[in-house]
Amino acid sequence: MRENIKSILLVGLIVVSLVQSYYLIYRMPGADSVANSEASYVQTEDIGPRTSIENTIFPDQMILHLKNNKHTVFYPASSNYNAIYSRLKGSNFSQFRRLSVQTVNWNEVRNDAGLEMTFSSGIPVSLLERTLDISPDSLFEGDTVNRIWIYNTANSIKPRAFFFSASGDVVYEATDLDWTSADIQQMTLMNTTATNYLYQTNGYYIPQTALEIQSLTLKLEMYTTEQMQRNLFFDPGATRNINEENGTEIYTDSKRSLQVDTKQKWMTYTDPTAPTTGTNNVSDNVLSAIDFVNQHGGWPGSYMLLMDNNSSNDKEFIFRQYIQSYPIVDTEKLKFGYMKLVMEHGTVSSYERSMLYTGINNPPLNESNISRAKVIALPGGKVLQNMIKAQIPADQTIRDIYPAYRPTLGNGVVVLNPVWMVKLQDGQSIVLTSSNTSISMKK
């Protein structure tokens, strides 16, 4: 009899416990989002093409030096550029020694047959060795490179190869390399049909004649806010939406947030929970940034890694989109053609990108994504020199000049017009225009 009573009491306690659990889960304030989140949750899936670190590291220019102050410049994706870069990636450079940059007279070297490659914002050697076969020592591996120069010397069957530190005061010479003087001479033959460039005393090159570049009108596609919300939040059903008067939509799960500028179709994702203590490792941060984009939006095209040298360059990274051989440069009115990530110890704390994209996953371009194309002649020679003189203040030092695409939006398309971009020593970039006016861009 006593055992039966205990059994009845035990069953009763279990029933009461189940009833209390039901009310705790389904009847407490805020229970709706908890109950619905399981049904609303969508596993993160790739919504764009993936890439790897090797595809985001490449020189922005290759300068082929000939004798008698003759030079030519090859831009990414051109046939000559690809041929040289393939040769470079198949070569080994080792046995480095550290020298002062003033050890060599570079103005004299510029008149020797040689190949100069530039990385505009500098690339850490620890990342460069994932693309090139180099064997750096510990000192070299901890540095950042912004230039590689390989050139022939008199009475030697082997050229000299230098890697320039972005600090500007030292170079690293590879004393063991598998290039010969004949390799350099063979490359100089590529100049037979290429445009000749003139060296300017400030260290940049301009073409002697106009460059013919296509102006492109490309069809646009767009990620939806719902796609990015599902893709970025672990539990999209637990997020709440706030609509600002300026047209910004904010989605938050009380920790992370997604802000969408509905006018520019620009999104900013922030995660303040990212760790902030410890030492940031640049290689780990870059690799984590690429993996994050692979899973959260992807890479609809070709992108170049740019280090943010105006801040702590071990955690802020920009990936600039290239169409054919030229980068897209955003404007004050239109953010487009790049991604920006801020990393904290391998975790994304900020992620910005356009929700618009061209639908191009590595050219060639074709009628499926081009609405219209026409050839534009970017001025060279004296005309370009006069534009520079008229539009760049005399007290400013020019670091580089290069062709780029400037985007404007149309109805379901983006128009990419070629322009000359001037990069100043302080990091500011200026668009040269055909009139005596210029458009300044943010650093």
407, pLDDT greater than 50: yes
Q: Sorting pLDDT into bands at 50, 70 and 90, what band is 364?
A: low
Please report, rounded to a whole number, the percentage of residues in the chain having pLDDT higher than 90. Answer: 60
Q: List the CATH number of the domain containing 290.
A: 3.30.310.160
Q: Which residues form the domain of 401?
A: 365-440
Q: Which pairing describes strands 170-177 and 326-327: parallel, antiparallel, or unpaired? A: unpaired
Determine, yes or no, domain membership for 214: no
For residues 59 and 188, membership in a common domain is answered with yes
Residue 338 domain flag = yes
Helix (H) or strand (E) holding 376: strand 370-378
The closest alpha carbon to 218, from 363, 431, 325, 433, belongs to 363
- Asked if the structure places residue 206 within a domain, the reply is no
The yes-or-no verdict on residue 271 having pLDDT over 60 is yes
Same domain for 429 and 296: no
CB 206 within 8 A of CB 197: yes
Cα 125–160–401 angle (5° rounding)? Answer: 65
Q: How many domains does the chain have?
A: 3
* Residue whose entry in the numeric block shows the structure tokens 């109950």: 35
Give the pLDDT score at 2.
53
The residues facing 240 across adjacent strands are: 252
Whether residue 231 is found in the same domain as residue 103: no
pLDDT (tens digit, 9 = 90+) per residue, 168-202? Answer: 899 999 999 999 999 998 988 887 778 999 999 88
Residue 268 confidence (pLDDT) above 60: yes
Residue 27: both structure tokens together: 């009847």
Q: Are residues 150 and 57 in the same domain?
A: yes
pLDDT confidence of 309, banded at 50, 70, 90?
A: low
Query: Is 113 inside a domain boundary?
Result: yes
Asked whether residue 422 carries a pLDDT value surpassing 90, the answer given is yes
> Residue 256 forms beta bridges with which residues?
none
Q: Is 243 within the bounds of a domain?
A: yes
Half-sphere exposure of 166 (CA within 13 A, CB side): 18
- Residues 191 and 72: beta-carbon distance below 8 Å: yes
Q: What 3-state class would DSSP assign to 166? A: coil
Q: Kindly state whether residues 370 and 329 are assigned to the same domain.
A: no
Residues 384/426, Cβ–Cβ less than 8 Å: no
Do 247 and 263 share a domain, yes or no? yes
- Count of C-beta atoms within a 10 Å radius of residue 314: 18
User: In sequence order, what are the residues at sequence separation of 6 or more whose Cβ sits closer than 8 angstroms to the Cβ of residue 426?
Assistant: 396, 443
